[in-house]
Amino acid sequence: MNVSEAYGILMGKVILMTEKVVKEKLEGLGKRMIKEIEKNEGPTFETVLRTKSNTIFDESEGCLRTGDKTETRKFLSVAQAKTFMQTVAVAAKTKKFISEDLHASIRSLFYQLKFTLGEDIDEDMFAEQSESNALIEDLEVALGIKREDLHLTTERKGTVAGPIIIKDKFGGEVNTIDGTAMGRSGWGIPSDVDNDIEFKTTADYVLVVEKDAMWQRLNEDKFWKKENCLVITPKGQASRGTRRLLRKLADKKLPIYCFMDCDAWGWYIYWTIKTGSMNLAYLGHDFAVPEARFLGVSMKDIREFEFLQKLTITAKEVDVKRAEEMLEYPWISRHADWVAELKEVLKTKKKIEQDALQGERLTFVGEYIKDKIAKKKWMS
């Protein structure tokens, strides 16, 4: 037995355990309903309320999560019966996917349900792009598992370069991928970074860079080699896979530094990585990285680096509105540096993009990041 085989068996064990738990949870859901029916009660389905009023900032965890309010779905009307049937059908289909060891997108799941249940399913109900897909979220929350564990694939996005070795058990083989040997492309972060996959890294820290173009700059500079770090771009808003990867890297005690635009979108991407967002609060700590730090770019940089003064651009309405909103969130407004930053945007009506750092010299960016980290010039 060689190392790769031994590794495969070891990983196989872990996977069987996870799969076993997930299957038991799905079966438990069904068995409980059958019992209710046998007792001549209507079947019920309990889930946590995912409303704004039941979203809290968890001080001890440092992230957004749903509160304790639950909701019990019953067979009371035709409309409810339909949703109920669909929830059960989703549970049954995903159990089948796990048994077959196959994965499916939400869109494929929609067609499987349409085929089984017939024409009366509303096609928009399962629209792949909708993160708020209520039925799947119901199951995730009710069973305390991730949709990835139900063999549902999600949008893939994000790229990594640097000292990381990935062991991807895929289609009966273990593929070993070296994050330092992927050239201009990097390693694409998959939909699921938890099941059948493991990582080892010798990096000292993780740098998260908002834009792919900036990742390409730092990759060309071999920044990850010079600094012994991982350079990751979520390519805008981080996918579920990227957020899980960052969580797992933070669990390995790697510092997570974020380098974003100084604007509505950059702040939103950062805070979603750090604390989760209102919409996705039900995901909780598994998809949040409260340890994350914001390196820049910031309004302060404009004063510090003279060449940036002519590279600011006018803040748009969305930036101003976002800055005002953020000042209302207690978990942001408690940070004096963030308050100063956002107030400066409101006062000057200016913003600045990370790309502006390349205005004088393309390779300045790396020096900027190194200096920020060395001198601990970040915001939390």
Catalytic residues: 111
**Residues ≥6 apart with Cβ < 8 Å to 365:** 214, 217, 218, 221, 354, 357, 358
Query: Does 179 help bind a second copy (rule: CB under 8 A)?
Result: no
Check: CB of residue 268 under 8 Å from CB of residue 326: no
Q: Which stretch binds a second copy (CB under 8 A): 20-28, 70-78, 281-289, 359-367?
A: 359-367
Contact with a second copy (CB under 8 A) among 13, 39, 52, 184: 184
What is the contact mask toward a second copy in residues 38 to 77, using x (rule: CB under 8 A)? ----------------------------------------
CA distance 118 to 77: 20
Nearer to a second copy, 96 or 334 (CB): 96
Check: CB of residue 182 under 8 Å from CB of residue 224: no
Binding-residue total with a second copy (CB under 8 A): 60
Q: Which stretch binds a second copy (CB under 8 A): 19-27, 75-83, 295-303, 353-361?
A: 353-361
Q: Of 226, 162, 233, 236, which is closest to residue 199 (Cα–Cα)?
A: 162
Sequence length of the chain is 380
Query: Does 13 help bind a second copy (rule: CB under 8 A)?
Result: no
- Shortest distance in whole angstroms from residue 100 CB to a second copy: 7
What is the contact mask toward a second copy in residues 204 to 243, using x (rule: CB under 8 A)? -------xxx--xx--x-x---------------------
**What is the helix (H) or strand (E) element at residue 74, kind and residue range?**
strand 70-74
Check: CB of residue 297 under 8 Å from CB of residue 354: yes
Query: At CA 286, angle to CA 96 and CA 195, rounded to 5?
Result: 40
Query: At CA 219, angle to CA 218 and CA 221, rounded to 5?
Result: 60
Nearer to a second copy, 72 or 314 (CB): 314
Residue 276, token pair as written in the block? 């989760």
Nearer to a second copy, 51 or 185 (CB): 185
Contact with a second copy (CB under 8 A) among 5, 46, 360, 371: 360
**Residues ≥6 apart with Cβ < 8 Å to 219:** 161, 184, 186, 231
Neighbouring-strand partners of residue 313: 351
Contact with a second copy (CB under 8 A) among 100, 251, 304, 324: 100
What is the contact mask toward a second copy in residues 252 to 291, using x (rule: CB under 8 A)? ----------------------------------------
Q: Is 204 helix (H, G, I), strand (E, B) or coil?
A: coil
Among all chains, which residue has been given the structure tokens 């010079």?
226
Query: Does 358 help bind a second copy (rule: CB under 8 A)?
Result: yes
Query: Does 306 help bind a second copy (rule: CB under 8 A)?
Result: no
- Shortest distance in whole angstroms from residue 183 CB to a second copy: 3
Nearer to a second copy, 68 or 119 (CB): 119
- Shortest distance in whole angstroms from residue 237 CB to a second copy: 16
Residue 141, token pair as written in the block? 């929350």
Contact with a second copy (CB under 8 A) among 29, 150, 164, 189: 189
Q: Phi and psi dihedrals of 122, rounded to 5?
A: -75, 120
**Residues ≥6 apart with Cβ < 8 Å to 331:** 57, 275
Query: Does 359 help bind a second copy (rule: CB under 8 A)?
Result: yes
* List of E strands, 23-163: 44-48, 55-58, 63-66, 70-74, 104-105, 152-153, 159-161
Nearer to a second copy, 12 or 28 (CB): 12
CA distance 378 to 369: 10
Query: Does 10 help bind a second copy (rule: CB under 8 A)?
Result: no
Contact with a second copy (CB under 8 A) among 29, 66, 148, 187: 187
Residues 122-151 that bind a second copy (CB under 8 A): 123, 128
Query: Does 330 help bind a second copy (rule: CB under 8 A)?
Result: no
| C-alpha distances in Å from residue 36, one per residue of 26, 30, 43, 45, 90 | 16, 10, 5, 11, 20
Contact with a second copy (CB under 8 A) among 133, 159, 275, 277: 159
Q: Is 205 helix (H, G, I), strand (E, B) or coil?
A: strand
Contact with a second copy (CB under 8 A) among 4, 54, 80, 105: 105
Nearer to a second copy, 23 or 222 (CB): 222
